Structure 1
Amino acid sequence: MSEHKTVILELQEEKKLVPQPILEQDELEHFDYAIRDSARNDYAITVSLWKEKKNGLGSLFTFWGVVKYVDTKKIKIVNVTEVVWIESRFITSVIAD
């Protein structure tokens, strides 16, 4: 790939970046309940998180699975293809499946 094309693709990707969402306390409490309930009752949830890429801007990612570990700073989600550790401060949504 030419250097010019690489720069254009990087600029297009940068345009898709977003600031970290600001969440309300009741949203955080809902996330905490759903995460702990998944771990306690062994059912899958969908967790979205924000990951910084450049200058305070980042991308949103989504993972699906059962919570196998939870503490105040991180959770571990497991599904049939992957194991993912997520820092709690970057979680932007939790949906009980």
Structure 2
Amino acid sequence: MEAITNDNHEIINLLINCGAHLTGSARAIDLAQPDPSGRTALHVAALHGHEEIVHYLLEHVENINETDMMGLTALDYALKADQQGVSVILNKFTTKS
């Protein structure tokens, strides 16, 4: 909703590419909502190396260590996909917590 409110097309497109969709009111949006396999938007953004989305999600989700049905975190996805920039971001944020 924030991206829509601020007319930020780049962020809107990145969110859509990561599987985001808008339903209901802005108050009902849960950025940590997992898909059927347990992956969240953070997992997908990390996998595909979307650093701006990862930064945004880190500010808006409570548990960055959420695991999917295979037991993988967003950091695991970033490491497996060799997304070094995202891995550094997630490592820094994880060590802060």
Report the TM-score, using the length of structure 2 for normalisation.
Answer: 0.22
Over alpha carbons, which structure has the higher Rg? 1
Give the helix-richer structure, 1 or 2.
2
Larger RCO (CA under 8 A, 6+ residues apart) = 1
